[in-house]
Structure 1
Amino acid sequence: MAMELASWVERFGTAAVLAMGGAAIGALFGFCAQRSRFCLRAAVIEFWHGKFGEKLSVWLLTFATAVVAVQGLVLLGWLDVGGARQLSNRGSLSGALVGGLLFGGGMIMTRGCASRLLVLSANGNLRALLSGLVFAVTAQAALSGSLAPLRSAISSGWTVDGGAARNVLTRMGGGPWDGLAMGIVWLAVAIFFAHRTANRVWMWLGGIGTGLAVALAWWFTYAVSQASFSAEAVQMQGLTFSGPSAEWLMRVLVNPAPAFGFDAGMLPAVFAGSFLGALVGREWKVEGFKDGYSMARYIVGAMLMGFGSMLAGGCAVGAGLTGGAIFAITSWVTLAGMFVGGGLMDRLLAEPVQTAQPPTQQAPVVVPLAP
């Protein structure tokens, strides 16, 4: 496969090969995520309500699959995650924590994380489409716009060096075998609860396929970086939706557009894959807002997610799955923040339970007898 990639790179160029691979992996992710109804928001709600149901089972099935596949590739010598920015660069624990909390709260308000909004947009959900646009604008503002100084100030509060200090497995004195073992345990737990909660074929296939797409992104970009003859080094990367959303926004608004690469092919392919999944499941339909309050809530939630994702260095997929699968400590802190922030926002927005009041007893009416 390495020889074939090298020939493709020589024939079509590094950028084109990355874009084509991103499109294929993105289509797989979009289709599988749509059919399995993969959603961190729904999993967080089930977790805090003390219910290990279908949504939490699907998320854990996806996460465990990504961990097992990535660590397996590392052990086979087909992947070296040491050059991933989530491990090699200096990271921010304060940004990961605050960003995770903001993102978790925002995804509850918008009824979906960044990837879920893209999937729902392809299914005809106009609420998700608007929220996705607001998310992209806010992410770009946090990356290099008016919100960048605030992001930098928060991120500089508590940092961690790159390398071994950012690797959870290394800090624990372990390695890829330990990561693989943990992934297998989580996969067994996910299979156990998934078998108890539902028996949908697409829940199984979609959850596993979504996790494999995360591992394939790591493997493919690493393989291209090794096969590239470009003068500029090719950075290996995984699936994420915050950076690519901001990139596509600038691609539409700015000329010349950002350089073509993996993200440029991945994002529209996720949309296309999800659209195909909706057609297969006969689930495509146009949905809009019910009232002004609902729209305002979605917009605020999308802004929280956009800023939070750039602050944390990734979204629910970029940090929760992609970074979590390589055991980056900042990604695990972000994921924990998303669970806590989502739980708090879910409780804050919960409608009070109306308890039935017992009927008031009225004094009996005494009718005087006629004399």
Structure 2
Amino acid sequence: MDLISIVEQLDDPAAAALAGVLAGLVFGVSAERSRFCLRAAAVEMARGRLGPRMAVWLLTFSTALLWTQGLHWSGMLDLSESRWLASPGTLSGAVIGGLVFGVGMVLARGCPGRLLVLGATGNLRAILSGLVFAVVAQMSLRGILSPLREAASGAWVMKGPNPNLLATFGLPQEMGIAIGVAFALLALLIARRAAVSHSVLLFGSGVGFAVAIGWALTYALSRVSFDPVPVGSLTFSGPSADTLMFFLSSGSALNFDIGLVPAVATGAFASAWAAGRLEWQGWDGARSMRRYLSGAALMGFGAMTAGGCTIGAGVTGGSTFALTAWVALISMWLGGMVADRFIDGLAPLPAGASPAPLSTARG
């Protein structure tokens, strides 16, 4: 059965939601198995280490770059139609939102994607933090915080479409693939020194591959669907808020994002269940609760101001070489590293506060 037949049988919104389900399941399983987390990688760097978390993040990023740029180079994807390159970008929003988000992810001990994965395995801290993130994201997009977001984003808006860094520097399209290969080689070098297992590396690549699946499916649907289908891929800022409203109100339509978020949780749950990692986890006390929830709130505002979270702006947006996506990603790294230094003081994390260490077994 071809794509046109599937769209005719399901209708356009349901087909878009199914695409979100497919990408979300791959992401959920891969993120749970690899423990992908930009916050953990930023903490490693802030503490002067290039360890397993950095290896996994770099491999995820390089995989997304390689597949996305490869699809674009082959003509199977036109990135100029994505919102990252088709609309004007805001540098002030990328910087301010990225820095705020970076601080929030350190306080909450995870980005929105990581909180969704952890919540699916029974982490009550992550579930409540994820809900706070979604509510504040909605408040920042259309609610009481939207004027503040608009002021931050509107301070420096570029004229015309968001610049493509490759085109800006006069580089050929093939250079995007070469940069992806360079990041992959660096990731494998760090992974070898940190004795990261082959299975963790495989699933780390799967996280990046899920981003490519999102790009490929949404672009293919945009070619055959009667209704407009935005060309995009994984992100958890807008989709988290939209999914929450979908289940709280009537009249909301299915789309890629509505399929994505539940599928990520389902994939993570299935992966943790199969590996025997399902476990209820609660709060360590009122101080811990304040920290997690304030971090989640900062991430909600920061993500909407920056145009995406660590996945949406950092990996999905970064894979297009959009200027503001890379600025937002760098700002998130800087915000996270500074927050770790001045909030956690380079001290060891409390017991149980961070995900379990990556396996060092070869396999």
**TM-score normalised according to structure 1 size:** 0.91
In the alignment, what sits opposite 2:217? Answer: 220
Q: Mapping of 1:1-371 within 5 angstroms?
A: 4-163=2-161, 165-228=162-225, 230=226, 232-256=227-251, 258-351=252-345
Q: 2:16–2:229: 8 Å Cα contact kept in structure 1? A: no
**1:337 offset after TM fit, Å?**
0.6
Instruction: Name the % identity.
Output: 47
**1:351 offset after TM fit, Å?**
4.5
Deviations 1:122-159 (A, max 9, x none): 11100000100000000000000000111111111011
The structure-2 alpha-carbon separation of the partners of 1:283 and 1:9, relative to structure 1 and needing over 3 Å to count, comes to same
Q: 1:87–1:162: 8 Å Cα contact kept in structure 2? A: no
**1:264 offset after TM fit, Å?**
0.9
**1:20 offset after TM fit, Å?**
1.0
One-letter amino acid of the structure 1 residue matched with residue 228 of structure 2? A
**1:254 offset after TM fit, Å?**
2.1
SS at match of 1:293: helix
2:206 and 2:25 mapped to 1: Cα distance? 11
RMSD (Å), alpha carbons: 1.4
After TM superposition, what 4+ stretches of structure 1 lie above 4 angstroms from structure 2?
351-354
One-letter amino acid of the structure 2 residue matched with residue 133 of structure 1? L
SS at match of 1:184: helix
Bigger Cα displacement from structure 2, 194-203 vs 179-188: 194-203
1:5 and 1:352 mapped to 2: Cα distance? 51
Q: 1:89–1:161: 8 Å Cα contact kept in structure 2? A: no
Q: 1:28–1:209: 8 Å Cα contact kept in structure 2? A: yes
**1:295 offset after TM fit, Å?**
0.3
One-letter amino acid of the structure 2 residue matched with residue 250 of structure 1? M
One-letter amino acid of the structure 1 residue matched with residue 144 of structure 2? S
In the alignment, what sits opposite 2:356? Answer: none
**1:168 offset after TM fit, Å?**
0.9
**1:9 offset after TM fit, Å?**
1.2
The structure-2 alpha-carbon separation of the partners of 1:352 and 1:320, relative to structure 1 and needing over 3 Å to count, comes to closer
Q: 2:46–2:341: 8 Å Cα contact kept in structure 1? A: no
* Uncovered stretches (5+) of structure 2, i.e. residues with no partner: 349-363
Q: 2:76–2:216: 8 Å Cα contact kept in structure 1? A: yes
1:108 and 1:350 mapped to 2: Cα distance? 9
Q: Which is higher, the Rg of structure 1 or of structure 2?
A: 1
Bigger Cα displacement from structure 2, 192-201 vs 281-290: 192-201
Deviations 1:193-242 (A, max 9, x none): 112212423211111111100111011100100111x1x32211110000
**1:81 offset after TM fit, Å?**
0.5
SS at match of 1:166: coil
2:96 and 2:282 mapped to 1: Cα distance? 31
**TM-score normalised according to structure 2 size:** 0.93
**1:281 offset after TM fit, Å?**
2.2
**1:250 offset after TM fit, Å?**
1.1
**1:299 offset after TM fit, Å?**
0.8
Q: How many residues align structurally?
A: 348
**1:353 offset after TM fit, Å?**
6.7
SS at match of 2:170: coil
In the alignment, what sits opposite 2:361? Answer: none
One-letter amino acid of the structure 1 residue matched with residue 137 of structure 2? A
**1:253 offset after TM fit, Å?**
2.3
One-letter amino acid of the structure 2 residue matched with residue 345 of structure 1? A
One-letter amino acid of the structure 1 residue matched with residue 338 of structure 2? L
1:146 and 1:241 mapped to 2: Cα distance? 20
Deviations 1:246-266 (A, max 9, x none): 10121122222x210111111
One-letter amino acid of the structure 1 residue matched with residue 240 of structure 2? S
